[in-house]
Structure 1
Amino acid sequence: MTAMNATPATADVRQHILDVAHPLLLRKGFTAVGLAEILSAAQVPKGSFYHYFGSKEAFGEAVLEAYFADYLGRMDELLAQPGTAAQRVSAYFHDWLDSQTGDEAQSRCLVVKLGAEVCDLSESMRAALARGTRGITDRLARCIEAGRADGSLAAPRDAAQVGAELYQNWLGASLLAKITRDRTPLDTAMASTRQLLGLVATA
């Protein structure tokens, strides 16, 4: 008979380490968080860590991949809701606004926190960021195209360019809101998003 305190499956332990590390990285960044702190928080021995991740760099790449998997899953849910494409894309940006002005550290954007730091440290982590952010802009572009098809959006340029511009605006606004500790940049991003997409006030 299997013991009640049997060791969790490998995938579960690996995910546990990633889950525990996520808020640490949001608070401190990648370089400032040492392996000892991660191991202590996760309550796993050093040998176990290297069983799941070959290096801290490989671990950082895995953290980013897990973050984007969750983020894109949430984005897919928002962009698959009933209603027009304008209503769906508006729900996505309202969700972004709420996540960046919430009290929970886990609501903050890992791209804002780690983007500039790790791109100069690790090519594999930079590539993970590039893949993840491309997933975001691709989804925005598809929603914008759908908005043109259903007549709810009136973006004047090609959808891919508009999707990339919107993401850049919101990423920059999130960074400025973090610097200033003021939500005004995010409110400005929302206003410019409505103008760019031709969203009506009730969308």
Structure 2
Amino acid sequence: MKIAVFDVCDTIYSVNTTFGFLDHFFSKNKKYIFFRKITNFFPIKIINYFIYKVFKKDIMRYFGTLFLSGKQVEEVKKNAYHFVNYNLVKETKDQILTMLKYYKSQGYCIVLMSGSYKFVVEEVAKYFNADFFYASNLNIVNNFYTGKYAEDILLSKYELLKNQFKQIEKLVVISNNKTDLKLMNYADHSFAICNKPRDVKFWKPHSKITCIKDY
């Protein structure tokens, strides 16, 4: 089997779909709007960065997800459909879509792997007619979200791919995430989406990874 793995946030799209969805869903929620203003404060970004570096936890992502507590599954899914099909279409990266279509035409299975919410990535997979998708699951109790993660795949894509696909003839990975380095080095060839000039410096030492400048 030939596989082409595509990341979603800041790769297929120019935005983070986790917060993009939350911004869409809670656009009239005053508490959420206040929370988002706080997340944009530079000191908060620095604190979140160091916590992530030490504990591998994006606390802003976890706090943002808590706002989904008590929301009905069907309501969230309906909003995810609208978000992907009407909002995200304006954020697609043409160069990456061309690559997706190319690998599909060459007989590759298109696999989306993202730390974003499953209900968002599922709609993205449908929109692009991807063969498989893997994303983070939220906990559900009695058809309501608890606002907590049941499974977060953000840092486990490499292990997940190896467990799900035992026979891989060729593997290509397209991602902007530095946390995907192990997966990208495992592939026959990878493409790193560089959204900032300093990204190039990070990827340059890795011979099997080609930088695609997108800035």
Q: Which has the higher helix share?
A: 1
Normalised by the length of structure 2, the TM-score is 0.25
**Could you state the TM-score of these two structures normalised by the residue count of structure 1?**
0.26
Higher-Rg structure is 1
In terms of fraction of residues, the more strand-rich structure is 2
Q: Which structure ranks higher in relative contact order (CA pairs < 8 Å, sequence separation ≥ 6)?
A: 2
